[in-house]
Chain A
Amino acid sequence: MKFLRKILVLSAFIASAGWGSASLAAEANGTVAKSLHEDAKCTKCHDSEETKPILSIYQTRHGVKADSRTPSCQSCHGASEKHLHGEANQKERISPDVVFGAKRGTSGAFAPSEAKVQNAACLTCHNTANGKRNHWEGSQHESRDVACTSCHSMHVKDDPVMKKSTQTEVCFTCHKTERAQSHRISTHPLNAGKMGCSDCHNPHGSTGPKLLVKNSVNETCYTCHAEKRGPFLWEHGPVTDDCTNCHTPHGSTNAPLLKARAPWLCQECHSGDHGKTIYSGVNLPTGNTTTVNGLQGVANQGPAAQANARACMNCHVLVHGSNHPAGAKFQR
């Protein structure tokens, strides 16, 4: 809560510092005026009466005209002279040079331009070294003709994909199996809005597998689960190898996010000692007993611990590694 107090103070400071300037509207001149003049060619028609208000772009970073990098309408949509002035023998209005959107429903009256054409317009500016698009070319999304506007909305004051609480809705538009998995009994806090897909994935391309934000699965997982990074004295081979050997991150019927149930998941690698034991419905608390006549000693009636409760992890709990000198069996 100390942090919260600090941040509240900071919030108050930032709000009070910026408040006075909120209503300031300096006179347009210089580059601002030039850019607005270009915009006016479009906003003359595309005004506040538009069904989908486009002027909200002025509330976004794309609307800060005092920043010389800020685009005008033409920066993205092209000069679109034919759209503005028409063409001889053409009754219907011709589309702008670049029409954004993933499909007609999102691109308005005109068919969207090719994804590569749309994306080129965005990458004119969004190609900075410190950006997140260094590995865009050849990436999974780029090579499948995903347009920037397939995910991003430009003319709204808040782009849903930039906000954790609404980002998953955007990603799940295509990633439908993951959408279903996010509703399972064991999940990451995706649907609670406390985690976004982009906490693990960089949809613009990355050096890692599956567009992960880091070089490997494990490096990505350790950004939140640093306690599992070690190195431990006693490492568990599949853990250092790849977290997804055992876990499935988008949701599982087997907590905690396991690919399969213990003890059988463990037995897919361990066949010695009591890893060799058959664990079945026989001998469960609500199942059959191990004898055919149903009568046996009290001490022998209990179901196998390895098939109940936390299964193997009733005892071998430090499966991610142990740093205890006697912890080779992940019990210390």
Chain B
Amino acid sequence: MNKNHNCFTTRAMVVAVQGALLAMAAMPLAYAEEHPTEVELTQPVKTLEVGVRNVSSDSFKAGEYNGLEKKGASAIVNIDARGGGSYDSEDATRWRVTGSELGLETRNLNDEYGQQGKFKINFGYDELLRNRSDTYQTPYQGTGGNNLTLPANWLAPKVPQTNAAQNAAGINFRSFDPVVGTANGLAAGVAVVPSAATLNTLAAIRTADLPAFHRVDLYTKRDKFDGGFTYDIDKQLEFKGSFSHEKKNGYKPMGTVSSQVSEFSAVIPDLIDSTTDQYNLSLGYTGEQGFLQAAYYGSIYKNNVTSMTWQDVNDLTKSATMSSAPSNQFHQLSLTGGYNINKTTKLVMNGSYARNTQNDAYLGSSTAANGQLAWGLPTPSLNGLVVTTAFNAKLTARPIKDLSLAANYKYDNRDNQTPVNTYLFQDVNEAKSGTSIFNAALGLSNLGSNTNIYANRAYSKKVNQLNLDADYAVAKGQVVKVGYDWQQIDRSCNGSWIDCADANTTKENTLRAEWRAHPTEDVSAKVGYAYSQRKVDNYNENAFLALVPMAGVAGTGAGGVSAQAALATLGLTGFGASAAQPTVAQIAAMSTAQKFYFGANGNAILAQALYGSRNNINELPGMRRYNMADRNRDKLRTSVNWQANEQLSFQGGLDFNQDDYDNSVYGLKNSKGWALNLDATYAANDSFSASIFYTFEDQRSQSAGSTYGSTSTTSNLTGATAVSGGCYATVADKNNDGKMDPCLNWSTDMRDKVDTLGVVLKQKGMMAGKLEMAEDVTFTRAHTDVGVGGGNYVANPILLATNPATATAYYYIPAAAMPTVTTDTVELKVRGKYKIDKVSAVNLMYAYQHMTSNDYIYTGMQIGTGTNYMPTMEQAPSYTVHIVGASYIYNF
């Protein structure tokens, strides 16, 4: 990307423009502006604006979307030219060329030409630059390609440990930090000062690795070329079409994990290079009694980057490859018709059929390191197909003057017909270990107990919905609206060996009521309330089994009982028994299957190896995914408008939402929020107006989880038996209830509180009608809090090699709230336009953009913070930017 960094002295210019704008603003209002002539009002005017603006400092965040991310000067070029036959001529030709910000990478240019009533063609070009980060750093070389490498002298970032096992695994990015990385360690409770050899090793790592870090700007650039036409075949028949071709390039941050075992990751600059073509065609017939439209929509996405490969920070002989988003297509045909049954009754129906396909070749085993795909692939590509059919019918009627009725039925079916297959793979960079109990069942001999045997899930969703509405004018200026909505959503997976949906069917009923009043010409008010109740027929806590088809197979040693059969027989979920550790007698009474799948004590969680997974993928009993959980929803909307007099008006509104997931023990339990909006507008006359607005929004959600452990009979930690804090006094008791320890339950309370204050001023007609100005300022303060309740046990780090039984083995550490994230934003814009004469004017503009943010996630991106993810050195977006500009406008 070629970015011009021309700089020129700005301070004088800033002061000059600010001074000029202030002087303008201080001008007394004078309303001697001449009325434009009839010709001036009716004759199109062509406008060309040329000027220069300057940005005081670099900031990708301030210039996130406006193309002004770099310090320095840029051209202001805007054009609006139009013409054609005059309004009173027999010539219906019209043309127009508009261009905005042609000097920036956010430029836009549009052309249109046509004979109104016959045809119109148009073309456009648009650039959209989204700047993500100008502080991101990476040691990876090869940005711009899809194979990223580390310098040949790269040393694995590790901190030598006294513990041999830790030393072997030990990727530790804190080794980059000369202070943190060389701090004392602990060995059996004794502080160990790093040896000279350790310090030398760490110094060598820093010397080799740190110079490799370099800045890569992260951005997405969209260049879009579009066009369209309209052709009026006759007065009733119209043919219309449009297309767009968008090219997208840039780099986005991509978190990559090289090792599943120690879970270290690096954020790489992921190459963006893709195109999206979109087509629209429609033929419409409009008659006296109704209309009919046939339409086609096509969207073809092509990704020129099929994969990203990067070297392993732990071992330069290895690399890993990630697939990029696959190319895909979407083609949709639709038919829409409307019929006026009579003057007050109308029926509109719409049906559509769409095919979404994707068949990119899979990345083969050669791109999967360490035998990750050693067992080959069941099919070379997905041959994915999603057929979406939709139908909509709406009947509206006004049987009497004061009553309006509407009934609307909607059907939308995303039918995923993608073939389902079983894929065998190791987790990323993890060597195979153990022996799978499913080798025999699959006719293989070399599956590890940590090999994933997964089937893809082709999610389908079918929505049926009915909306009924009635509006009745109960009195003059008062309308009551009542409504009822019914919605049923069915979810399923074609080809799945077992139900894949947490909720096969959800049904939601909503009652709505609204009162709108217009008691006087100057006052209007509205109060609306809606209550919804969503119910799930049977929430399926074992839906995760759809991912692991081996759960339906009895592996070696399972006594002929599959995991799924065991769960069904025992009435358990993958979490297993939820009672405390059973007695010896209870264990003895347990079935073979229970002890096979849930451990010798019979109440462990379902071991992942017994269903062909590397990870435990079951959820907690009582966990409900919120998008398909039972839910009660309240919604309140209020607003008042008051036109106090000809000049002054007020508006106010209060919105309230509350979602309660009463049957969710874990997961999202509730969310609620309210927003207050206040506006006041003073419009003294056509030459001066001022408005002020304030919004306060409070959004809150609460959820719950559990850091459950596993039960065991272990009663000490290197001899120590006491527990400090928590729910149990001894290690034995704690471990006995490890799976059910109530002190391991946790909760979160997330809250966003945002104040937004804005003032907008507009003045016209100053300086004998030559000057008009506009000023607006917006201040936003956002607080994000995450309260966390609960806690966890931590082993006493200063336990010695041997300890008395009375020593504290574990401390219970209460959770703490996350730091409050506060983001302040100020946006000020001042614009002044001075008319020199009938054909020319000068524009002056000044903008002040300011943001401070203390978001802690950026703290964790610096050297010396995270152990197992590579620092990117990204900084929280804080900036102060002044933009000044001056331009000359020529009308012709």
A67 and B257 within 8 A (CB): no
B877 within 8 Å of A (CB atoms): yes
The answer to whether B754 touches A180, judged by C-beta atoms less than 8 angstroms apart, is yes
| Docked-complex contact B677 and A281, CB < 8 angstroms | no
Residues on B with C-beta less than 8 A from A130 are 230, 238, 240, 282-284, 293
Asked if B683 and A298 make an inter-chain contact with CB atoms under 8 angstroms apart, the answer reads no
Knowing A129-B291, A145-B516, say if A299 contacts B418 (CB, 8 Å).
Answer: no
Please tell me which stretch of B5-13, B149-157, B420-428, B589-597 contacts chain A, meaning at least 4 of its Cβ atoms lie within 8 angstroms of it.
B420-428
Cα-based distance from A318 to B693 in the complex (angstroms) = 40
Q: Is the CB of B778 within 8 A of A10?
A: no
Q: Which one of B95, B100, B686, B786 lies within 8 Å of A17 (CB-CB)? A: B95
The answer to whether B159 and A299 have CB atoms under 8 Å apart is yes
Contact of A66 (CB < 8 Å), options: B116, B372, B516, B868: B116
CB distance from A318 to the nearest CB of B (A): 7
Contact A261 B91 (CB under 8 A): no
User: Could you tell me if B336 and A24 are in contact, using CB atoms closer than 8 angstroms?
Assistant: no
- Cβ-defined contact, A10 with B123, below 8 A: yes
**Please, what's the 1-or-0 string for A15-52, where 1 marks a CB less than 8 Å from any CB in chain B?**
10111011111111110100010000000000111011
**B545 sits at the interface (CB 8 A):** no
Given contacts A278-B792, A314-B267, contact A143 B406 (CB under 8 A): yes
Q: Does A84 count as interface, using CB distance less than 8 angstroms?
A: no
Q: Is the CB–CB distance between A17 and B867 below 8 Å?
A: no
Interface positions, chain B 663-680, Cβ under 8 Å from A, are 666-668, 675, 677, 679
Knowing A129-B284, A189-B65 are in contact, say whether A194-B106 is a contact too (CB < 8 A): yes
The reply on A95 being an interface residue by CB < 8 A is no
**Can you list, as one digit per residue, whether each of B55-92 has a CB less than 8 Å from chain A (1) or not (0)?**
00000000011100000000000000111111111111
Complex interface bits, B771-812 against A, C-beta within 8 A gives 1, otherwise 0: 000000010101010101011101011100000000000010
Mark A214-225 against chain B: 1 for CB-CB distance below 8 A, else 0. Answer: 011001001100
In the complex, whether B130 has a CB less than 8 A from a CB of chain A is yes
Main secondary structure of the interface of B (DSSP, over half): strand
Give Cα A15–Cα B386 distance, bound, in whole angstroms: 45
Residues of B461-507 whose CB lies within 8 A of A: 461, 469, 471, 479, 481, 491, 502
Contact check: which of B88, B224, B705 meets A36 at CB < 8 Å?
A: B88
B90 cross-chain contacts in A, Cβ below 8 A:
26-30, 32, 66
Known A-B contacts A227-B274, A253-B821, A326-B428; A298 and B695 likewise in contact (beta carbons under 8 Å): no
Could you tell me if A179 and B695 are in contact, using CB atoms closer than 8 angstroms?
yes
A310-B267, A317-B255 are contacts. A176–B867 as well, Cβ < 8 Å?
no
Task: Take A138-B469, A157-B44, A323-B323 as given contacts and tell me if A260 and B750 are in contact as well, using a CB distance cutoff of 8 Å.
Answer: yes
Query: In the bound complex, do residue A280 and residue B816 qualify as a contact, i.e. CB atoms below 8 Å apart?
Result: yes
Asked whether any CB of chain A lies closer than 8 Å to the CB of B509, the reply is no
Is the CB of A242 closer than 8 A to any CB of chain B?
Answer: yes
The reply to whether the CB of B697 lies closer than 8 angstroms to some CB of chain A is: yes
> In whole angstroms, how far apart are the Cα atoms of A49 and B41 in the complex?
11
- Complex Cα distance A176/B652, Å? 10
User: Least Cβ distance of B860 to chain A in Å?
Assistant: 3
Q: Are A284 and B818 in contact (CB under 8 A)?
A: yes
B636 within 8 A of A: no
Query: Is A231 close to B, CB under 8 A?
Result: yes
Decide: A229 and B423 in contact? CB cutoff 8 A: no
**How big is chain A's contact interface, by range?**
35 or more
Does A111 contact B856, Cβ atoms closer than 8 Å? no
Tell me the residues in window 254-292 of chain B with beta carbons closer than 8 Å to chain A beta carbons.
254-257, 260, 263, 265, 267, 274, 276, 278, 282-286, 291-292
| A295 CB–B CB distance under 8 Å | yes
B542 lies within 8 A of chain A by Cβ: no
Q: State whether the Cβ of B199 lies closer than 8 Å to any Cβ in chain A.
A: no
Closest to A315 in B: B257
Q: Contact at B299–A226, with CB atoms within 8 Å?
A: yes
Assess whether B714 is interfacial by the CB under 8 Å rule. Answer: no
Q: Does B207 contact A (CB under 8 A)?
A: no
- Cβ of B109 < 8 Å from any Cβ of A? yes
How large, as a class, is the contact surface on chain B? 35 or more
Contacts of A226 in B (CB 8 A): 276, 299, 301, 328, 330
Stretch at the interface among B30-38, B210-218, B433-441, B442-450: B30-38
Does A104 lie within 8 Å of B521, measured CB to CB? yes
| A88 at the binding interface (Cβ < 8 Å) | no
Question: Contacts of A284 on B, CB cut-off 8 Å?
Answer: 818-819, 856, 859-860
CB pair B254 A317 closer than 8 Å: yes
Residue in B86, B235, B253, B856 with the greatest tally of chain A CB atoms within 10 Å: B86
**Cβ-Cβ contact count across A and B, 8 Å cutoff:** 585
Q: Does B719 contact A (CB under 8 A)?
A: no
Residues in B whose Cβ lies below 8 Å from that of A231: 328, 356, 358, 382, 384-386, 416, 418, 458
B3 CB, min distance to chain A CBs, angstroms? 14
- Residues on the B chain within 8 Å of A149, using CB: none
Residues A281 and B818 in contact in the complex (CB < 8 Å), given A26-B90, A192-B106, A229-B328: yes
Say yes or no: is A135 at the interface (Cβ < 8 Å to chain B). Answer: yes
Q: Distance (Å) between the CB of A106 and the closest chain B CB?
A: 10
Complex CA–CA separation, A179 to B691 (angstroms):
14
A94 to chain B, nearest CB (A): 17
Q: Interface code A124-152, partner B: CB below 8 Å = 1, 0 otherwise?
A: 00011111001101100001110000000
B134–chain A nearest beta-carbon distance, Å: 15
Whether the pair B301, A229 counts as a contact (CB closer than 8 A) is yes
Does chain A have a CB within 8 A of B534?
Answer: no
CB neighbours (8 Å) of A241 from chain B are 459, 461, 491, 627
- Please give, as numbers and ranges, the residues of chain A lying within 8 Å of B384 by CB-CB distance: 230-233
Chain A residues with Cβ under 8 A from B81's Cβ?
15
CB-based contact B124/A7 at 8 Å? yes
CB-based contact B461/A8 at 8 Å: no
Question: Contact between B348 and A137 (Cβ–Cβ < 8 Å)?
Answer: yes
* Contact yes or no, A11 B362, CB < 8 A: no
Please give, as numbers and ranges, the residues of chain B lying within 8 Å of A293 by CB-CB distance.
797-798
Could you say which of B551-559, B563-571, B578-586, B613-621 contacts chain A? Answer: B613-621
Interface residues in B191-246 by Cβ distance below 8 A to A read: 191, 223-225, 230, 235, 238, 240, 245
- Give complex CA distance A180, B758 in Å: 9
Among A272, A291, A298, contact of B185 (Cβ-Cβ < 8 Å): A298
With known contacts A7-B124, A7-B225, A271–B286 Cβ distance under 8 A = no
- Residues on B with beta carbons closer than 8 Å to the beta carbon of A296: 186, 797
A131 contacts which chain B residues (CB < 8 A)?
284
Contact indicator B284/A143 (Cβ below 8 Å): no
A8 to B491, CA, bound (A): 50
Complex CA distance for A305 and B266, rounded to whole angstroms: 11
Q: Are B87 and A3 in contact (CB under 8 A)?
A: no
Complex: how many Å from CA A300 to CA B84? 75
| B363 contacts partner chain A, Cβ-Cβ < 8 Å | yes
Query: In the bound complex, do residue A135 and residue B627 qualify as a contact, i.e. CB atoms below 8 Å apart?
Result: no
| Cβ B326 vs Cβ A4 within 8 A | no
A176 contact set on B, CB distance < 8 A: 651, 653, 677, 679, 693, 695
Complex CA–CA separation, A30 to B88 (angstroms):
11
Q: Flag whether B377 is at the interface (Cβ < 8 A).
A: yes
A325 and B455 CA atoms in complex are apart in Å by 10
Q: Note all chain B residues with C-beta closer than 8 A to A127.
A: 286, 291
Interfacial chain B residues near A157, Cβ < 8 Å: 44
Chain B 604-629 interface residues, beta-carbon cutoff 8 Å to A: 615-620, 623, 625-627
B787 CB, min distance to chain A CBs, angstroms: 9
User: Chain B contacts of A165 at CB under 8 A?
Assistant: 100
B263-A305 in contact (CB<8A): yes
Interface contact B786-A261, CB-CB below 8 Å: yes
For the complex formed, measure the closest distance between the CB of A26 and the CB atoms of chain B, giving whole angstroms: 4
Residues of B within 8 A of A58 (CB): 41-42, 87-88
Q: When the two chains form the complex, which single residue of A68, A138, A227, A299 contacts B301, counting CB atoms closer than 8 Å?
A: A227
19 A–B pairs (Cβ distance < 8 Å), ordered by A = A4-B107, A11-B111, A48-B38, A48-B40, A66-B89, A70-B116, A130-B282, A181-B697, A183-B780, A194-B128, A216-B414, A271-B619, A280-B788, A295-B797, A301-B867, A308-B865, A309-B267, A315-B255, A326-B426
Q: Which 8 A-B pairs have the closest CB atoms?
A: A302-B867, A129-B284, A308-B860, A22-B83, A18-B95, A26-B89, A138-B406, A130-B284
